[in-house]
Amino acid sequence: KMEDEKEEKVLSNLNELVASIVHEIRNPMTSLKGFLDLLRLNTSDDGEKYFSIIDAEFERLELILEDFLYLSKPPRYVMEEISLVKIVQQIVDLMQPQAIQSNILLMLEHSLVDEYKMIGNEVRLKQLLINVIKNAIEVMPLGGTITITIGYNMDGDIELIVKDEGQGMNEETMNGLFTPFFTTKKQGSGLGLPLVKKVIEEHNGNVRVWSKEGIGTAFTFTIPVDSYKYVMNMPLQESVSLT
Ligand code: ADP
Ligand code: MG
């Protein structure tokens, strides 16, 4: 009990520290952005090329800070009844244009008679999906198919699989995958998959990774169907809706 309390204290201090660091970084960013806009007003012709690069970098910084904040926070949001199929379909629709630009087809396969109802948080699950699909798109520069399958496993739990035809991973990457800041990309933050792991654990589920170099990678998410039972035991719950 004492140990738990100690750990909670350490964690909440850490959350506060992260929040204040993010705040301190955002302040100068805001002022930099302001001066950038001023400069832009006073510059002619080919400065625009550099401005758009700077803009894109600002956006990237903002996304990294957001992931960072999310990672450090305890779960404090509403768990409610959702349809997994609906959520995945929305993300597929959202990301299809981006995929098509890279000659990639996003395919969703599921049984038509089931909505795959579960207890969860829509915003967080969407973040999980976006991060995993984004990674898949990034490893398929020559295009191909990303297949998303929703079904039930032998235990009756929901299983969501995201399979790509990318380069696959070597052992070192497989081992580092979920470690914060681990990345093999020049422009990577290494925060995408740690967030994915956190979200699936918040849903009392787990994630397994299969990968073969030169063939592709598959992420399998398992979510207990009677998750509401577990949800009731979750700390820091704001409210639970069961209907
Ligand atoms: P980032 O995308 O910023 O590098 P992530 O946490 O999303 O950070 O991913 C960590 C690393 O895991 C990636 O840099 C990459 O090496 C590896 N990885 C993730 N998804 C895949 C995938 N679908 N295929 C191959 N490697 C992957
Ligand atoms: Mg990523």
**What are the pLDDT digits (tens) for 100-118?**
999 999 999 998 788 999 9
The pLDDT of residue 224 is above 60: yes
Average pLDDT, integer, range 214-235: 75
Could you tell me where the beta strands, DSSP code E, fall in 17-167? 80-83, 104-110, 117-120, 144-152, 158-164
Question: Which residue's alpha carbon is nearest to atom 14 within ligand 1?
Answer: 183
Dist. CA 115 → ligand 2 center (Å)? 28
The pLDDT of residue 86 is above 90: yes
Average pLDDT, integer, range 136-153: 96
Q: Give ligand 1 pocket residues (Cβ under 6 A).
A: 131, 135-136, 139, 164, 166, 169, 173, 177, 182-185, 188-190, 192-193, 217
Dist. CA 135 → ligand 2 center (Å)? 5
ipTM higher than threshold 0.90: yes
173 near 135, Cβ under 8 Å? no
What local confidence, expressed as pLDDT, does residue 242 receive? 41
The pLDDT of residue 241 is above 50: no
Dihedral of alpha carbons 28, 34, 36, 42, sign: negative
| Structural tokens at position 235 | 């700390």
What local confidence, expressed as pLDDT, does residue 235 receive? 45
12 near 66, Cβ under 8 Å? no
Q: What does pLDDT average to over the chain? A: 85
* Burial environment of residue 173 by CB neighbours within 10 A (0 to 12, 13 to 18, 19 or more): middle
Q: How many other C-beta atoms can be found within 10 angstroms of the C-beta atom of residue 243? A: 4
Ligand 1 pocket test, pick from 68, 148, 170, 193 with the greatest ligand atom count within 8 Å of Cβ, gives: 193
The residue to which tokens 């020049």 are assigned: 186
220: three-class secondary structure by DSSP: strand
* pTM score of the predicted model: 0.75
What local confidence, expressed as pLDDT, does residue 240 receive? 42
Residue 79 is given by DSSP the state B
Ligand 1 pocket test, pick from 183, 191, 212 with the greatest ligand atom count within 8 Å of Cβ, gives: 183
Question: Which residue's alpha carbon is nearest to atom 11 within ligand 1?
Answer: 183
Dihedral of alpha carbons 175, 178, 182, 186, sign: positive
Q: How many other C-beta atoms can be found within 10 angstroms of the C-beta atom of residue 187? A: 8
Q: Which residue has the higher pLDDT, 169 or 55?
A: 169
State the Cα–Cα distance between residues 109 and 148, nearest whole angstrom.
6
Question: Which residue's alpha carbon is nearest to atom 7 within ligand 1?
Answer: 192
Of the candidate ranges 57-61, 78-82, 176-180, 221-225, the one whose mean pLDDT is the lowest: 57-61
Q: Which residue has the higher pLDDT, 16 or 239?
A: 16
Dist. CA 187 → ligand 2 center (Å)? 10
205 near 222, Cβ under 8 Å? yes
The pLDDT of residue 182 is above 90: yes
What local confidence, expressed as pLDDT, does residue 112 receive? 76
The pLDDT of residue 61 is above 90: no
What local confidence, expressed as pLDDT, does residue 183 receive? 95
Q: For ligand 1, what atom is nearest to the CA of residue 162?
A: 23
The pLDDT of residue 215 is above 70: yes
